[in-house]
Amino acid sequence: MIRSYGPALALIALAALVPFAVSANTMLNFIVFALIIALAAQGWNLLGGLAGQFSFGHAAFFGTGAYAAALLQTRYGVNAWAAFALGIVLAAAIGWVIGFLSFRSGLRGSYFALVTLAFAEVLRILANASAFTGGAAGTLVKLDVRPENFQFVSRAAFVWIAVALVGAVLLMTITIMRTRFGAWLTAVRENEDAARALGVDTLAVKLKAITLSAAITGAAGALYVQYFLYLDAGIAYGPWISIEALIAPIVGGIGTAFGPVLGAVALHIFGEAAKLVAGGIPGIDLVLYGLLLIATIAFAPDGLTGLLKRLARGKTKEAR
């Protein structure tokens, strides 16, 4: 048991020590943002990687968590920590509704993916047009730097919070993969009809998966708005987060526990490197993401996680 969690615990401990070695705000901003994307990618991976239900619209969950956390504070005076938790709950509820409507209708594959994309786009349009969400001007959370308001003087605090969330989901994913629920998710991914014939309640399994996936992605959205203190429809429900949440697990290793985290960090390292080399060319990071995705599919179909495992096995054989 300890051996199964050992690498994850070591990675969490190492990540928690980073703020002691890095003090530059630019670097801390990069780490926090990469971890937020990693959290969203972990949410996508639970549904798309473990359960095999590919989504193109995880922005629906990210945006719901973000807007709920922001609006509960600005319009109703709810404490930021409580708003953060409620944002996760509301994102999970949206996930359950989308899943119930989609899976109860028998949608799967590309049809399910397009439905999730449609939901995210509808929510983006509604948020952009509604005065309640601030419309096109967006929503600005009041700056009040106090720990009880989920605002901190040092960005290091947000690094530790992000590490805690990503670490908790990492440990949870490893646990799920070892349980009967994880076996059901794998069965649904590999052959849903066969799983149903063997007595697996595929609707219930998929609903649990999308609800949990939405909650994790909603946590990423709530953390985003709490860190940047601003939100608009393009940020909350824009396609950018759906794309990054999808690409990171594929690059890192879809259906693995470490893949989403490794993929998110790799994507942002390459993205920032491209910006430094190419200057201010608009969209250069997206071009690089596309090239990296193509290279991964062509040369490392099991992602960076699989590539690292093959390299480790090769070194072990050489040592023998």
- The model's pLDDT over 2-20, given as tens digits with 9 standing for 90+, comes to 567 888 999 999 999 999 9
Percent of the chain with pLDDT over 90: 79
Nearest to 248 by CA among 259, 235, 257: 259
Band of pLDDT at residue 121, cut at 50, 70 and 90? very high
For the chain, state the CA radius of gyration: 19
Contact 249, 44 (CB under 8 A): yes
Within a domain: 199: yes
Alpha-carbon distance values, 172 to 32, 91, 111, 175, 212 (Å): 21, 18, 29, 5, 11
Domain assignment of residue 71, yes or no: yes
Determine the structural domain holding residue 67 and report its residue range: 2-241
The pLDDT value recorded for residue 67 is: 98
Q: Which residues pair with 140 in a beta bridge?
A: 230
In this predicted structure, the answer to whether residue 211 has a pLDDT above a threshold of 80 is yes
Domain assignment present for 120:
yes
- Does residue 184 lie in a domain region? yes
Q: Could you tell me the pLDDT band of residue 302, with boundaries at 50, 70 and 90?
A: confident
pLDDT at position 320: 59
Whether residue 255 is contained in a domain is answered as no
- At residue 155, the 3 state secondary structure works out as coil
Domain presence at residue 284: no
Check whether 184 has a pLDDT greater than 60.
Answer: yes
User: Would you state the pLDDT for residue 315?
Assistant: 63
Closest by Cα among 96, 99, 102, 70 to 83: 70
pLDDT at res. 318? 61
Q: Are 233 and 137 in contact (CB under 8 A)?
A: no
In a domain, 52, yes or no: yes
What pLDDT does 273 receive?
76
Structure confidence at residue 105 (pLDDT):
92
In a domain, 219, yes or no: yes
**Total structural domains within the chain:** 1
Share the mean pLDDT of the chain.
92
